[in-house]
């Protein structure tokens, strides 16, 4: 059985080395044993050992575990040899990532998401609606189906990058010769070229179109609500999934109703006689006219709750808020002769209309003094 070399010995540093010391040691050894530079037998294996040691010792948690338990403590990414670097894609990619090297291929990109804003009426927000609106978006070309080639012509492998979408370039520095990967300029990373570009999209594989989109607005949406339409965004690259379309909702105000969460507020004007005597009246709701009992002695500003006549709760089955009716007792500004007589008779039966504490020498007197300038 092969015994693993101590990671500190592999990098040539002391056990109390600082993170900066470990980084410097790794850089020096990586330059020396990188396979693109060192063709000696065993250089690649030694580079892997150096990289494995750095991967463990550069991580404070893994280093502490290694210091306490040795290679068993570093198990996981480090204990499995070079498997901990599989996300980098290989030895060359580790080196390039560490030293700011080339660009790796990440595969076809998902399509771009789109966002649109639409305005609906108050009632549409309460009960939901089916809405249609126009959007302008990029779509796969209808003539070439995204191939970028004129129908009947061929799509061939890029001769520059041999279909990989990347080219390998050799760079020289004071440390020697290094390889760097970059996107192929001939095919822009597609790995394919066309002999004759599509005449409709000019070889882009896409075209901009005006589309009419239908969206189901659920009952209970409010200003700021967002509806997601999956796969209605722009197409992805080379068959990758399209983006999504997000609809942002604005809601028009209403002449009668005001919304407060899932409740609906409404003001009800009641004349002073009805407020005093009580009455049954018809009240406007989003479901039509409904009866409301106004008890005798109702005061201006008093609120009454009409259950389950508000806005449906999003995501619930049938649950709704309430309608809140706020009474406004209306005092008449003009009276005819008969009305005045009746009110004077009522006033006479109710006694003095100046409450205790509001006499001339009380609170009311102080207000009058303040208004006339006699008070302090």
Annotate 119-156 with three-state secondary structure: EECHHHHHHCEEEEEEEEEEEECCCCCCCCECCCCCEE
How many domains is the chain partitioned into structurally?
Answer: 3
Show the tokens assigned to 293.
């009992």
Name the packing angle between helices 60-69 and 43-57 (round to 10°): 100
> Is there a single domain that holds both residue 47 and residue 120?
no
12 vs 7: CA distance, rounded Å: 8
352 in any annotated domain:
no
> Is there a single domain that holds both residue 122 and residue 31?
no
- pTM over 0.75? The answer is no
Q: Which domain holds residue 139?
A: 114-154+195-251
pLDDT per residue, tens digit, the chain (376 aa), is 455 678 999 999 998 899 989 988 988 888 888 877 788 888 888 888 888 888 889 888 888 888 877 776 665 444 444 444 443 444 444 454 454 444 444 567 889 999 999 999 999 999 999 999 899 999 999 999 888 899 989 888 888 888 888 888 777 665 566 677 788 887 777 788 888 999 999 888 889 999 999 999 999 999 989 999 999 999 988 778 999 999 999 999 999 999 999 999 999 999 999 999 999 999 999 999 999 999 999 999 999 999 999 999 987 777 999 999 999 999 999 999 999 999 899 888 886 655 554 455 554 455 455 445 555 4
231 in any annotated domain:
yes
- DSSP letters spanning 87-105: GGTSHHHHHHHHTT-----
Task: Name beta bridge partners: 118.
Answer: 249
CA of residue 249 relative to chain centroid, distance: 14
169 in any annotated domain:
no
> Is there a single domain that holds both residue 209 and residue 281?
no
> Is there a single domain that holds both residue 244 and residue 279?
no
> Is there a single domain that holds both residue 281 and residue 247?
no
369 in any annotated domain:
no
Given a contact cutoff of 8 angstroms between Cβ atoms, the answer to whether 366 and 372 are in contact is no
Residue that terminates a domain, selected from 232, 251, 270:
251
CATH number of residue 279's parent domain: 2.60.260.20
> Is there a single domain that holds both residue 210 and residue 91?
no
> Is there a single domain that holds both residue 218 and residue 316?
no
Give φ, ψ of 5 to 5 degrees.
-75, 145
Task: Name beta bridge partners: 203.
Answer: none
> Is there a single domain that holds both residue 20 and residue 87?
yes
227 vs 146: CA distance, rounded Å: 29
365 in any annotated domain:
no
74 vs 54: CA distance, rounded Å: 12
């Amino acid at each position: 059985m092969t015994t693993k070399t101590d990671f500190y010995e592999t990098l040539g540093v002391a056990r109390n080395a600082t993170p900066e010391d470990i980084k410097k040691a790794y850089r020096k050894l990586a330059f020396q044993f990188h396979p693109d530079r060192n063709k000696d037998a065993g250089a690649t294996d030694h580079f892997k050992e150096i990289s494995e040691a750095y991967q463990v010792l550069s991580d404070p948690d893994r280093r502490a575990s290694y210091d306490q338990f040795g290679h068993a403590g570093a198990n996981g990414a480090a204990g499995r040899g070079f498997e901990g670097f599989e996300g980098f894609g290989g030895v060359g990619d580790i080196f390039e990532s560490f030293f700011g090297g080339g660009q790796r291929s990440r595969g076809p990109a998902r399509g771009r998401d789109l966002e649109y804003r639409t305005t609906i009426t108050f009632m549409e927000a309460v009960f939901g609606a089916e809405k249609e609106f126009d959007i302008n978006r990029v779509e796969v070309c209808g003539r070439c189906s995204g191939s970028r080639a004129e129908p009947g012509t061929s799509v061939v492998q890029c001769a520059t990058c041999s279909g990989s979408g990347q080219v390998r370039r050799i760079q020289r520095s004071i440390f020697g010769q290094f390889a760097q990967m970059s996107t192929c300029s001939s095919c822009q990373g597609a790995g394919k070229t066309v002999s004759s570009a599509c005449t409709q999209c000019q070889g882009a594989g896409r075209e901009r179109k005006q589309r009419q989109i239908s969206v189901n607005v659920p009952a209970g949406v409010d200003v700021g609500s967002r509806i997601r339409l999956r796969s209605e965004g722009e197409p992805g690259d080379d068959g990758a999934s399209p983006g999504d379309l997000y609809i942002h909702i604005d809601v028009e105000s209403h002449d009668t109703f005001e919304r407060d969460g899932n409740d609906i507020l409404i003001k009800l004007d009641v004349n002073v006689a009805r407020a005093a005597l009580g009455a049954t009246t018809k009240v406007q709701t989003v479901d039509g006219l409904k009866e409301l009992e106004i008890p005798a002695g109702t005061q201006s500003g008093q609120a009454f709750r009409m259950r389950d006549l508000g806005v449906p709760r999003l995501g619930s089955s049938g649950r709704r808020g309430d309608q809140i009716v706020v009474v406004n007792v209306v005092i008449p500004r003009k009276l005819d002769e008969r009305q005045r007589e009746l009110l004077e008779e009522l006033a006479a039966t109710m006694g003095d209309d100046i409450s205790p504490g509001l006499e001339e020498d009380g609170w009311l007197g102080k207000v009058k003094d303040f208004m006339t300038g006699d008070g302090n």
